[in-house]
Structure 1
Amino acid sequence: MDYSRMVRAAAVQISPVLFSRDGTTEKVLQAIASAAKEGAQLVVFPETFVPYYPYFSFVQPPVLMGKEHMRLYEEAVEIPGAVTDAVSRAARSYEIVVVLGVNERDRGSIYNTQLIFDADGSLLLKRRKITPTYHERMVWGQGDGAGLTVQDTAVGKVGALACWEHYNPLARFALMAQHEQIHCAQFPGSMVGQIFADQIEVTIRHHALEAGCFVVNATGWLSPEQVGQITADETLQKVLSGGCHTAIISPEGTHLCPPITEGEGMAIADLDFSLITKRKRMMDCVGHYARPDLLQLRLNPSQWAVMSSLQNESTQQSAATPPLNIPQPEFLTLEP
């Protein structure tokens, strides 16, 4: 791995075009162009930005949110499809790595999905949030271990998690064990207030320190007019504010540029990969600081399927089972 390179990254704090997949996608394309003009080689967007984060589920009880849930189905992103085609073309045109959050529709289900496009436009990763949080469980299905992979991109080894997945330490460790160099984090923003913004900052700075990697974090933002579109209840409107902290963090846990906490904007910073070695020289939690003889992570990287062949399962199991007398020293064990 090259630890002597320099990469310019951009984290975008941006508001969606509510209720419009096409309108929000157009804002994504414009932001990619703007980031490229600033010399960015990597651009990160907020959680489920296309078409929009399901804020309605945070302020409406399930019995009342059927209409908005159906509208989200109608505007959700199919993969592959027009949205991924457009973003792929933009990534290729500007030679920029793009990390985008979408509401993915897979027939009768919606998922919180993170997409990583390489600088040649190829879609390297489509991963689904492994456990939707609280109100989100009424909207999204669950992901699987197939998405807990770090991708080799034009800017280095890139991994991604969404929102409170960062409170699953084993999910984070799975990416660390694959020697993640740039971690792309995504949060919804415009929720809960300042306490959420404070928690985001603590979370992303801690991951940077523990993983010895850069963290590029993007949160969404709602204008006061958009909050009014989501709910007319002034009491509920108060919980759809704050909670924004778009930032870029070094492996030493420091901000590389001023964070964006309100309004639309773009955080841009240069990532000096030598700082990864500088941090890991002191504490490499998947190297000299690890104790695989005491503690190991067992990861199932299989993609879920509601139907599979018993014959295929038997073949896969026999191929994947190691001899009983051979020790397994790795601290990341893959279980098919």
Structure 2
Amino acid sequence: MNNILKVGLAQISPVWLDKEATLKKIEHTIVAAAEQKTELLVFGEALLPGYPFWLAHTNGASWDLKVNKEIHAHYVRNSIQVEAGELNSICTLAKTHKMAIYLGIMERAKDRGGHSIYCSLVYINEKGEIKSVHRKLQPTYDERLTWAPGDGNGLQVHPLKDFTVGGLNCWENWMPLPRAALYGLGENLHIAVWPGSDYNTKDITRFIARESRSYVISVSSLMRKEDFPKNTPHLSKILENAPDVLANGGSCIAGPDGEWVVAPILHKEGVICQKIDFNRVYEERQNFDPVGHYSRPDVTNLQVNRERQSTVTFKD
């Protein structure tokens, strides 16, 4: 039954900007998903340790403002350094439960000095191996005040049963060329991760599915005022202008025909499970395949730089 894959959409809130507590919550969610025999589990964008909601509520663009500097420093301290083994517990659980995982993290990248942070989407295979770390190519609007732009190294796809799975972060999914790069690698199960809003997921999920004739899984987080830990720096300032609900979920699945398999689900915390059938991909590729029989590479052709970017190259 390699054509059938049971997927899980982990629509949860972080313990905001608390790395250790959020890791524990992710671990518990993996165990809960394993009880439902989930084979691929997807978490939202920047879930570990959380999305920078403060920027919209603390005059985030104000130059040299102490509040933003102190929250940013707290954010960096709670971000993940993959090379230091900070995802080892997640990898162990993936291996134990033979479960592939996509996890949105804030990455404190050692190969870029270890002080800037990147919105990264990590793929861990069912053997517990980290196979790709995709750093978001272009942070969106106010995200640029705290996130650094990534590179093309993570534009990778991975085999999972009959499927070929790849993923992008949030508004990267609106970028036609990164989508085309993944299509060209044979992607037929597209993962789109978001901080949390049906505003983001309700249109583009179906659009990408219909464009690519692939399954598309969109996973969003939740965030409410009560999800902010009491020890968050400048919490009263953040909450002063924040709405009661900052992220309402909206996780969903569209099939290769662009129709809903699971319509956007709002305000519900937990793992949303669904079986998908690879044969539907072949059925829909019969009349349209964007990088196969319905392409003209002699006319239009995409070049992709997948080198991991670094400021310094050493020759010892």
TM beyond 0.5: yes
Does structure 1 residue 54 correspond to structure 2 residue 55?
A: no
Secondary structure in 2 matching 1:16: coil
For residue 75 of structure 2, what is the aligned residue in structure 1?
72
1:171-224 CA-to-partner distances (Å, cap 9, x unmatched) read: 1111011110211111001xxxxxx52342211111111111111211110133
- What percentage of aligned pairs have identical amino acids? 27
The separation in 2 between residues aligned to 1:84 and 1:147, in whole angstroms, is 17
Q: Which amino acid aligns with 1:292?
A: P
The separation in 2 between residues aligned to 1:233 and 1:76, in whole angstroms, is 19
The separation in 2 between residues aligned to 1:202 and 1:258, in whole angstroms, is 11
Please give the TM-score of this superposition, normalised by the length of structure 1: 0.84
Relative to its length, the structure with more strand (as a share) is: 2
Higher Rg: 1
CA contact 1:248–1:268 (8 Å) conserved in 2 = no
For residue 8 of structure 2, what is the aligned residue in structure 1?
10
The separation in 2 between residues aligned to 1:287 and 1:231, in whole angstroms, is 54
For residue 25 of structure 2, what is the aligned residue in structure 1?
27
The separation in 2 between residues aligned to 1:175 and 1:214, in whole angstroms, is 13
Aligned equivalent of 2:167, options 146, 150, 160: 160
Secondary structure in 1 matching 2:253: strand
Unpaired runs of 5+ residues, structure 2, are none
Secondary structure in 2 matching 1:88: helix
RMSD of Structure 2 on Structure 1 (CA): 2.1
For residue 192 of structure 1, what is the aligned residue in structure 2?
none
CA contact 2:201–2:264 (8 Å) conserved in 1 = no
Instruction: Kindly report which structure 2 residues correspond to 1:160-309, keeping only aligned pairs within 5 A, or say none.
Output: 160-189=167-196, 196-226=197-227, 236-238=241-243, 241-308=246-313
Does structure 1 residue 136 correspond to structure 2 residue 143?
A: yes
The separation in 2 between residues aligned to 1:261 and 1:174, in whole angstroms, is 31
Decide which moves more: 295-304 or 114-123: 295-304
Q: Which amino acid aligns with 1:246?
A: S
Q: Which runs of 4+ in 1 moved over 6 A?
A: none
Give the CA deviation at 1:39.
1.5
The separation in 2 between residues aligned to 1:263 and 1:270, in whole angstroms, is 19
The separation in 2 between residues aligned to 1:258 and 1:178, in whole angstroms, is 27
Secondary structure in 2 matching 1:245: strand
Secondary structure in 1 matching 2:311: coil
Change (3 A) 1:291 1:265: same
For residue 322 of structure 1, what is the aligned residue in structure 2?
none
The separation in 1 between residues aligned to 2:51 and 2:72, in whole angstroms, is 11
Count of residues in correspondence between the two structures: 302
For residue 320 of structure 1, what is the aligned residue in structure 2?
none
The separation in 2 between residues aligned to 1:28 and 1:137, in whole angstroms, is 26
CA contact 1:109–1:140 (8 Å) conserved in 2 = yes
Unpaired runs of 5+ residues, structure 1, are 190-195, 312-336
The separation in 2 between residues aligned to 1:18 and 1:217, in whole angstroms, is 21
CA contact 2:224–2:247 (8 Å) conserved in 1 = no
Q: Using CA pairs below 8 Å that are at least 6 residues apart, which structure has the higher relative contact order?
A: 2
